[in-house]
Structure 1
Amino acid sequence: RGAARRARLKELADFRSTLIFYEAPHRIKATIEDAREIFGDRDCVVARELTKLHEEFVRGRLSEIAMPEGSARGEIVLLVGPPREGPARQTGGEATRSIVEEVEQLMDAHGLDQKSALKRVARERGIGKSEAYRLMIAERARSK
């Protein structure tokens, strides 16, 4: 179950919009931990008992949301925000000049193929795989 959840989260890692998950109370802690590992430390909301008398919202970063084992009850919705816009989203400047080095470093250090390394760099920078590939090709063309 955990492996299937992580595989599905990895498929969603490049989405640039808010992600909404309906989760069982006994799995919410593991889901938050997996989401943080795969998506990075994004903004999120854990909503409990929506539209009911005792509805509750916990807001913060994925790293800040602490769900003690067995504390969650009722219907739970996890909202995970899109990657934050920041320096990594710039199309010029320092962030784009080192994408080839980042990919090569991941390939050497972790034994990843280029596609996997580029996907990881894209996720860390908060950009799509296609955009990361385009930046890498442009960087290589400039360095020739």
Structure 2
Amino acid sequence: MKVQQSFTKAKDQESKKAGTLYLVATPIGNLEDITLRAIRTLKEVDLIAAEDTRQTRKLLTHFEIPTRLVSYHEHNKSASGSELIRLLSEGLSIALVSDAGLPAISDPGAELVVAAAEQEIAVVPIPGANAALSALIISGLPTDRFLFTGFPPRERKALQEWLQQLRKQDATIICYESPHRVAKTLTAMLELWGDRDVAMVRELTKRFEEAARGTISECLAWLSEHPPLGEYCLVVAGANASDAKDLEGDDKPWWTELSLEEHVSRYEGQNLDRKEAIKLTAVDRGLAKRDVYNEIMRK
């Protein structure tokens, strides 16, 4: 067991050999989201590790922060992470920031925290703005119990499995989604979860901040008339008591009772062409595309 405690006494600070990893929250839109403590920390640390140095440099320039900036992201986390741990072990203090909001949430910063904790390097949070929680509190949905799930899987089959695992969850569900995939994800939710209440939140704390509240089908209709722009935070109602009763003991895939033709037609109803619909049907059922095509064309 390892216990990390705050070093409040000067003698404790002087005796501490390793440096400190600070997880610093940055603005999610409006630059005024940043805290005074975050600005001070970014000025005082020896090094700032950023997910996107170009984005972070704009922030540092705005607040006149001269601290040296290095890159730490998904594609260089192995090499860069090892080097950052080495520097921390030698006594340097480092601030970790993401593109926006709290670092280590849906980004490789979480792995750096694990590595630091394993080396008994102090990890200190510098709280601030967070898109998921900001979306939750304006969603109009229950906030007493919620589950943050990051980004949904991109592949259709993986997405179906992900939704199946969450469909009995009675807590409010929060996830992020890109503008290019938000309609597809909502359509899949409608298929497996039913027409639940949802809030689509985007551009938080920015000039064009928007929260669209309604059922999933209403939000899909909204998106058909208002093309998605910017990254979305989806806040979806959990399964209610009647949903849970209906779903109890029912772990069958949504397409179980459909014929191959009906299965393909359901995908075509989601504005997919026949070729793509056949491909997805084959993936769902574990069949070869040719077999699905031949069976349908035979009728």
Fold match, TM over 0.5?
Answer: yes
Which of residues 69, 72, 78 is equivalent to 2:228?
A: 72
- Check the 8 A contact 1:26/1:70 in 2, yes or no: no
Q: Greater helix percent: which structure?
A: 1
Partner of 2:250: 119
Q: What is the CA–CA distance in structure 2 between the aligned matches of 1:16 and 1:73, rounded to whole Å?
A: 29
- Check the 8 A contact 1:29/1:69 in 2, yes or no: no
Partner of 2:162: 8
Which of residues 172, 191, 197 is equivalent to 1:18?
A: 172
AA aligned opposite 1:44:
V
Q: What is the CA–CA distance in structure 2 between the aligned matches of 1:58 and 1:76, rounded to whole Å?
A: 11
Q: What is the CA–CA distance in structure 1 between the aligned matches of 2:201 and 2:230, rounded to whole Å?
A: 10
- Check the 8 A contact 2:195/2:217 in 1, yes or no: yes
In structure 2, runs of 5+ residues without a counterpart are 1-154, 253-299
- Check the 8 A contact 1:44/1:59 in 2, yes or no: yes
Aligned-pair Cα RMSD in Å: 2.7
Where 2:234 maps in the other structure, the secondary structure is strand
Where 2:218 maps in the other structure, the secondary structure is coil
- Check the 8 A contact 2:168/2:238 in 1, yes or no: no
Partner of 1:52: 206
Report which structure shows greater RCO (CA 8 Å, sep ≥6).
1
Q: What is the CA–CA distance in structure 1 between the aligned matches of 2:191 and 2:177, rounded to whole Å?
A: 17
- Check the 8 A contact 2:167/2:239 in 1, yes or no: no
Identical pairs, percent: 35
Deviation string, structure 1 residues 32-91 (Cα, Å, up to 9, x no partner): 000111111110001111121211011101121122288101121111112244xx38xx
Structure exhibiting the larger radius of gyration computed from Cα positions: 2
Q: What is the CA–CA distance in structure 2 between the aligned matches of 1:30 and 1:57, rounded to whole Å?
A: 19
In structure 1, runs of 5+ residues without a counterpart are 90-94, 100-115, 122-144
Q: What is the CA–CA distance in structure 2 between the aligned matches of 1:40 and 1:19, rounded to whole Å?
A: 14
Map 1:58-97 to 2 at 5 A: 58-65=212-219, 66=221, 67-68=223-224, 71-85=227-241, 88=242
Where 2:157 maps in the other structure, the secondary structure is helix
Deviation string, structure 1 residues 17-39 (Cα, Å, up to 9, x no partner): 11111001000000000011111
Where 2:250 maps in the other structure, the secondary structure is helix
Shift in alpha-carbon separation, 1:28–1:69, aligned structure 2, 3 A? farther
What TM-score comes out, normalization by structure 1 length?
A: 0.58
May I ask how many residue pairs the two structures share in their alignment? 95
What TM-score comes out, normalization by structure 2 length?
A: 0.29
Partner of 2:187: 33
AA aligned opposite 2:235:
L
